[in-house]
Amino acid sequence: MKHRPTQQQQPRGDQVARQQQMSGSNEFQGKPQQMGEGSYEGARDYKERTERFVKTHDVEREAEKAKPRSEEEAREMEQAEREGQSHSKGEK
C-alpha cells in the first residue's frame, strides 16, 4: 500500500491568491487586473461614489438647473448629442 500525503486545507485567502495566480491575475501582487470592459474594483468605486452623490445632493434641483435655458441652447444640446452618437459603436 502506497502512502498518500494528506492534503492540507489552505486558508481561504491562500486559495483565492492561488486561483488568481493560476488564472493570470496579478491582483494578489497589489496590481488590480482589468477584467473585460471593467473591473470589480472600478464598479464598486463607481457605485459608492454614485450613492454618496445621491445622498448628499439635491438631485432634482440640479437636474432642473441643467435644463436648457433657451430654445437655442436646447437645439445646441441636441446637436451635440447627435454628434456624439455619430462617433459611437451603436450603443445608446
Q: How far apart are CA 92 and CA 85, in angstroms?
A: 8
Query: Average pLDDT for residues 5-27, to the nearest whole number?
Result: 56
pTM exceeds 0.75: no
Whether residue 49 has pLDDT greater than 80: yes
Q: Given a cut of 80, is residue 40 above it in pLDDT?
A: yes
How many residues are listed for the chain in this entry? 92
Extract the C-alpha cell encoding 61: 434641483
Cα three-residue angle 28-40-26, rounded to 5 degrees: 20
- DSSP H helical segments within 7-70, as ranges? 12-22, 40-56, 59-66
What pLDDT digit, counting tens, does each position of 22-31 carry? Answer: 655 455 455 5
Q: What is the pLDDT of residues 75-88, one digit of tens each?
A: 999 999 999 999 88
Least-confidence region, from 7-11, 16-20, 33-37, 63-67: 7-11
